[in-house]
Chain A
Amino acid sequence: MLLRVENLSKKFEIKVGQKKLIESINGISFELEKGEFLALCGPSGAGKSSILKCIYRTYIPTKGHILYNSYEYGLVPIQKAPDWQMIRLRRKEIGYVSQFFSVIPRVSAMDIVAEPLVRYFGVDEKEARERARWLLRRLGIPSNLLDAYPSTFSGGEQQRVNIARAIIWKPRLLLLDEPTASLDEKSARIVLELLKELKEEEVGMIGIFHNEAHLKAIADKVLEVKKYE
């Protein structure tokens, strides 16, 4: 078992302006093994992204347990892990590809991708950049863009830089929020190919796809997330 989610629920309590309680997800349970790909399905607003964000601890779950089997720490209850431990897990074990480009201004595409290797895995700068270049080229980023700032890139190019930064260090658990959403068919196929390679290397993954064909190409199992009523 790499990850076990039990009865996970998330409500947002808005305390300013129009006070209200927003129910996001309720009673989600599943288990994930190493090298397994779980796809989350369901209508927009069903809370698929919220599940990923709870696992990454961008959201604090309201109820339930998220048990992650860490290489470094053994079983970690993510919902109550101390902040320093989450930071460490995010650097060394759990990767996340967000739906939107997470901006690091004024850093070149190649350095954005190479950075985690250099900072958290002690890889020599030259080698890290070489690996970043290789990965970005494989993802179809033209070589004249490697030294440019991604804030000027197209949505699809930014998406691929995002993916490259998350997979270059080969996390043990990878969370993917619509990784192929803004990609053309050719780039999407390359991304799926890379994800399949990660699967063979035992990376456990949870992903959200809107494209049925993409989902079928990679998923081992599917969790249907229903809109909370």
Chain B
Amino acid sequence: MRVVLRVSNLTKIHGRGCPECLSLTGPEHETNLCKRCGSVVACANVSFELYEGEILGILGESGSGKSTVIKLLNFEMEPTFGEAYLYNVRGAEWANGKNLFSLNSYQKRMLKNKVISVVYQNPLLGLNANVSAAGNVAERLLVSGWRNYSLINARVESLLEKMEFPIQRMKDLPKSLSGGMQQRVQIAKALANEPSILLLDEPTTGLDLSVQARVLDLIRKLHRELNLSMIFVSHDLRVINLLADRVIVMKLGRIVEMGLTDQILNDPQHEYTQLLVSSQL
């Protein structure tokens, strides 16, 4: 299997930081707050590989740093240190072997528009509240150079259809749509430019169970049909179990365990993972 993304030693420290931030924080210290300088270590030395066409789960509770990893990979903030590399990703051949965090802002924008897309837990974070559902998807096409009105229209409609979004409501503003529909628009928008890598940050958390199930089915279908490589962040073991081949378990900014999903669930090695598994309802 081919590696498409390699992340190495990804670290984000909020605050001024000190030489002891990393040695004074983490699961064994039961805190991510450096007691010497007061900085918060959101994630530290996170390293992993993402393979082509796989769903990699990141499991952890709030404060584990899993969303920080997503935000860093989506260039929403700068890492304190660490690197990420893309390998032979369609449309990003020019970035081969370059540390993504040292690219210039134009290059980062190119990757965000065409190669790496993100779906947030809160759909309104990924959507423009002032334009319709269809307008939101069209916006994404416009930034990547689509200009022909009827082509854009056709593409938007087919995307929303694929997301099983009720087309007769595509002119509605996001706030008038249900949570499940908003999430479908957000996913359509994220997929508009056919990215190779999709980052999903708790995309079904907070939805009603039946809606959650249907959105998960959609994600599974998209994964199967589009051969997307995905990172799926969740605190929910069952969701991870359903989707992911491999899973990373994070606590207080660190990876505590990584492995095949069924192995992590049936034979967890780390104390924290054992606690998570045994706390399942």
Question: Does the CB pair A106–B213 fall under 8 Å?
Answer: yes
B1 neighbours in A (Cβ, 8 Å)? 84, 87-88
Question: Does the CB pair A17–B278 fall under 8 Å?
Answer: yes
B184-218 interface mask toward A, CB cutoff 8 Å, 1 = contact, 0 = none? 00000000000000000000000000000100010
Question: Does the CB pair B269–A105 fall under 8 Å?
Answer: no
A131 interfacial by beta-carbon distance below 8 Å: no
B245 neighbours in A (Cβ, 8 Å)? 87
A152 interfacial by beta-carbon distance below 8 Å: no
Question: Does the CB pair A106–B275 fall under 8 Å?
Answer: no
B266 neighbours in A (Cβ, 8 Å)? 53, 58-59
- Of B224, B260, B271, the residue contacting A57 (CB under 8 A) is B260
B263 interfacial by beta-carbon distance below 8 Å: yes
A88 neighbours in B (Cβ, 8 Å)? 1
Instruction: Give the distance in Å from the alpha carbon of A84 to the alpha carbon of B275 in the complex.
Output: 26
Across the interface, name the chain A residue whose C-beta is closest to B54: A87
B61 interfacial by beta-carbon distance below 8 Å: no
Across the interface, name the chain A residue whose C-beta is closest to B245: A87
- Of A87, A105, A119, the residue contacting B224 (CB under 8 A) is A119
Complex interface residues of chain B between 243 and 281 (CB less than 8 A to chain A): 245-246, 258-260, 262-263, 266-267, 269-271, 274-275, 278
Q: List the interface of chain B (C-beta within 8 A of A).
A: 1, 51, 54, 213, 217, 224, 242, 245-246, 258-260, 262-263, 266-267, 269-271, 274-275, 278
Question: Does the CB pair B51–A84 fall under 8 Å?
Answer: yes
Of the listed stretches A8-16, A186-194, A199-207, chain B binds A8-16
Instruction: Give the distance in Å from the alpha carbon of A57 to the alpha carbon of B264 in the complex.
Output: 10
A12 neighbours in B (Cβ, 8 Å)? 267
Instruction: Give the distance in Å from the alpha carbon of A93 to the alpha carbon of B266 in the complex.
Output: 22
A212 neighbours in B (Cβ, 8 Å)? none
Instruction: Give the distance in Å from the alpha carbon of A104 to the alpha carbon of B242 in the complex.
Output: 7
A86 interfacial by beta-carbon distance below 8 Å: yes
Instruction: Give the distance in Å from the alpha carbon of A139 to the alpha carbon of B231 in the complex.
Output: 38
